[in-house]
A and B are shown apart, each in its own frame.
Chain A
Amino acid sequence: MTSITPANKMVGLILNDEWEVKKLIPVGAKTGVGTGGNFSASYEVENINTKKIAFLKAFDFEKTMQEAMAKGHDFMKVMSALTSDYQFEDRLNEICVEKRMRNVIKVMNKGQCIIDSRIVPYLIMELAEAGDIRMYVERTKDVSLAMKLGYLKDVTLGIRQLHSANIAHQDLKPSNVMVFKSLGAKVGDLGRASMQGVSHRFDNLTISGDQNYAPPEQLYGFIAPEWVDRRQRCDLYQLGSIASFLFTGRTVNNLMKEFVPIEIAPSRWGGSGNQYELALPYLEKAFSNSLEVFDGIHPDWLGEGIKKIVMQCSHPSYEMRSMHKPGNKPKADLGLERLVSQFDFLIQKLKVYGMSNSKGDK
């Protein structure tokens, strides 16, 4: 029997004399399911003075502890991990505020409250009134191609801002891209992020974020020796996957899974392969096959543009993931500014040529 944990009893509370907890939001049950993730509860909160609506993430220590105990884990170790996770995420959020990362969800307030004699730490963040990007796959009059491209540019900017502070997001997926009516899209949830040079327990996990959005090397348990390869190139993979999702409704993993032979596919996809290096040529072939779906995007030039972006971002070989031109001298960064330019160019082209194929070809 499961009882309601303190983190799920916050409705009606006034936090820091400023924020009223309005209602529970049934999302974000758990990050990194199956990989030792933490539970949290999400709420809509309202600023008493300004009436501004925000998002509250309450860390459900109780539920996390209960589950860990049920699995026979060491209490002290779990406690220590929880504290460390909270502190680490808090620190990352502070860095984001300090560096004024405009395309990363901002933490507006934080604190802790006591419910049923249990401490519940929380973070209050900007709430995206227009939801997350999952709602923007459908083609309606309110969702234009230009908007989609704009959001992708914003996500790229968000990832670039994080990378410039040596932070890798690690869990970039459609539900973690928030859409604001006036501010565009922002990247949210740093719960699985990694910081170069700062050791954190998630760094030891092969798959840090959501397994279903994880790049192939992680699915095969391969750990690249360099932090940038291991972490930031994972972000790039997931960024390509977001682009694919917005324009086709399908993530890169979903597309590839259709073409990867079962004999060599990772166990997560029902296959029996377990060595990344051996599987790689088959993954590359599957990737090439799956890219053909972008040929169905109208107008053609836009399909080609998105295909090229996904090809550069989400290549199954992590070494090939970069926005720099192939053959050029290897560079330390991944060239995200080039990706921003590519989205800009596509947006401009869309303004000039609209949905026309022929003009777009000129």
Chain B
Amino acid sequence: MSFFDKDERLLLPEWLKTGNALNSYEVKPFSDVRSEPLEDNTDMLYEEFSNNKSLDKAIELLNISFIENREAESRIAAKYVVQGFDLPPQILNLAKYVLKGGMEFDEEQDEKKTAIGLTRDWLRENPKDTLGWLDLAREYAAIGKMDAAEKAITVSLNLQPHHRLVVRNASRFFVNRNQNDIAHKILLKQPNLKEDPWLLSAEIAVAESYNRPQKLVNHARRIIDSRKYAASHLTELESSIATLELSNGLIKKARKLYVSSLEKPTDNSLAQAKWAERSSHIPNLVSSDLLANHQGAYEAKFWEKYYKYEIPEAIELGLKWFNEEPYSVQPAIMVSYLASLLDDYVLCLRITKLGLNIDKNNEILQLNKVFSELCLLTTENQYEIDEFFHEHEILLKFLTKKEDKVTVGQAYANLGLLHYKANQPDLGREYYDMASETFAKIKSTSYLVALMNHYRESVISKSPWADELFDKMSNEVINFNSKKEPAIIYYFAKMSLLKENPLRWEDVKAAKLDLSFLNKDSVSKERVVSFDYDPKNPTITISKK
């Protein structure tokens, strides 16, 4: 498991924008039975119109052929309609629209309606639009306005109290709000809870999220075994049960269910399987092909790229993941970590700010924000520097008093960084040591991160203990359990480069590292280490011998 990972990942419903949810199986019916195919009426109307051309017939033909997707007949009717009659603009606009060749749903208009202001205006006029309220709630949740989001979600739930999408999204919202009991109640009062695998899956995840007894698990297993539902509708339920089996140590059973869940996966079940690969060493659950051919699934793809050491690509996918789940801080945290690996402090700052919009009290994001701000400090005005340091020092010292040792360690590390930046390397060194000690006590991989950051700052500040630190760091990286963690390997490679070029930090910082040789499927046999310090595109390439 990556040290970035949470201990458990639950199959909580993914709260998509209602327009995007259309691509999910979640809004697809259980049965694929279609109503009896009907003959088009366009033929008959077109014949009548052709025999005796008149405006009334043209208008009817345009109406019907448009509904029946008969483009050619629509165009013929439209041409007649636009001949200069005094008609209502609505039918004339349709005729012009048809003649332009546009028969598709206008998504642009939908896109424009996503901003909160516009959605609110829209809802003022259309207060019964369930989807509008659902999207508004999501938009509010994305900026941390949770009370407003709750109001919006409550309205949508009242309008459609039993709609699968509404119910699942509402349950996700209340879990995010740490009101797991409310989320659970919403699910438990669904009349079709036992018959709907989507609701069952959500119920199991929500119950697990606050350690409630799992009363429907056996029923869920029976549902899966009955094969009454198509694979597309069972994917999340199977993945949910697989995760439970995993937590019970039943790896074989879990594997079987995960494999089955990937027959017709959702973004969520793919991400869950990727998590299972990382957390429980169930290898090769998700093939690269399956992932590549699946549209979306940014979380799963993010992790795949991360484990291939393709950090810039992983960041790109992380941003897409965040865009899909703007109500969740997890993608923001991940992107901020990876941005710091690239020493891209601008991105790190931007994403932490966005994440803090969702949850302003998130300590990891607060710490990563301080980290990037310290790294970006450019002013030479001593007063400003003092003010800046003072302000951050207060926050960081406050965080060192927290119970969570990872937070404490990170706060110490940031204090170390702060003092290095304040030209107080002795104090900086001391705080970094305190960070390392804190992490060492809990055997956290962050210990290595702290060492590497410390080494970087010691080199930049030209501190005499830099070489000593490098040796220590090298030993620890080799000995530490998490040596396969891509973030550690990646940054260690960068620090190794810094060791060789201690006066060229700016070049090292901007360099792209190609660690593709570390991938299992890498075909490269030759080991080449090359440094290209082209200021426009500095690159370091390390390939296998």
Contact = CB atoms under 8 A, between A and B. Distances in A.
Interface of A: 26-27, 29-30, 33-35, 131-132, 134-135, 137-140, 174-175, 206-207, 210-212, 219-221, 245, 247-251, 253-255, 257-264, 266-270, 273-275, 277-278, 280-282, 284-285, 288-289, 291, 293, 296-297, 320
Interface of B: 18-19, 22-23, 27-29, 31-39, 41, 44, 48, 51-52, 55-57, 59-60, 63-64, 66-69, 85-92, 94, 105-106, 109, 122, 125-126, 128-132, 134, 159-160, 162-166
Given A134-B60, A137-B56, A260-B105, A281 B163 contact: yes
Contacts of B89: 296
A288 B126 CA distance: 6
28 contacts: A33-B39, A132-B56, A135-B55, A137-B56, A139-B87, A211-B38, A219-B35, A249-B88, A249-B90, A250-B94, A251-B63, A254-B67, A254-B94, A255-B90, A261-B22, A263-B23, A267-B35, A275-B29, A277-B163, A278-B29, A281-B130, A281-B134, A281-B166, A284-B130, A285-B129, A288-B125, A296-B88, A296-B89
Given A257-B67, A270-B69, A285-B18, 9 more contacts: A137-B55, A138-B85, A139-B86, A249-B63, A254-B94, A268-B38, A280-B160, A288-B125, A288-B132
B90 A293 contact: yes
A264 B86 contact: no
B163 A268 contact: no
Contacts of A282: 18, 22, 27, 131
A262 B69 CA distance: 12
Contacts of A251: 63
A134 B29 contact: no
A258 B91 CA distance: 13
Contact of B35 (A137, A139, A221): A221
B88 A263 contact: no
Contacts of A277: 162-163
Nearest to A293: B90
A248 B91 contact: yes
B33 to A, nearest CB: 7
Contacts of A253: 67
A134 B66 contact: no
Contacts of B105: 258-262
B27 A264 contact: yes
A356 B185 CA distance: 54
Contact of B32 (A211, A270, A274, A296): A274
A288 B132 CA distance: 10
B526 to A, nearest CB: 49
A280 B18 CA distance: 13
A33 B47 CA distance: 15
Nearest to B22: A263
Contact of A33 (B22, B38, B86): B38
A29 B92 CA distance: 28
A268 B51 contact: no
B29 A26 contact: no
Contacts of A212: 41, 63-64, 67-68
B108 to A, nearest CB: 12
A220 B66 contact: no
Contacts of B91: 137, 248-250
Contacts of B63: 212, 245, 249-251, 254
Given A131-B56, A253-B67, A285-B129, A26 B51 contact: yes
Contacts of A174: 60
A246 B38 CA distance: 27
Contacts of A131: 56
Nearest to B51: A26
A281 B131 contact: yes
Nearest to A245: B63
Given A260-B105, A288-B129, A278 B27 contact: yes
B90 A248 contact: yes
Given A257-B66, A270-B69, A278 B38 contact: no
Contacts of A280: 160, 163
Contacts of B67: 212, 253-254, 257, 268-269
A286 to B, nearest CB: 9
Nearest to B134: A281
Given A253-B67, A263-B23, A35 B160 contact: no
Nearest to B113: A289
Nearest 3 A/B pairs, CB to CB:
A249-B91, A275-B29, A134-B56
Contacts of A249: 59, 63, 87-88, 90-92, 94
B55 to A, nearest CB: 6
A286 B35 CA distance: 22
Contacts of B22: 261, 263-264, 282
Nearest to B122: A288
A135 B54 CA distance: 9
A280 B166 CA distance: 12
B51 A134 contact: no
Given A29-B44, A251-B63, A280-B160, A297 B33 contact: no
B35 A206 contact: yes
A235 B129 CA distance: 24
Nearest to A135: B56
Most A C-beta atoms less than 10 A away, residue of B28, B33, B122: B28
Contacts of A270: 69
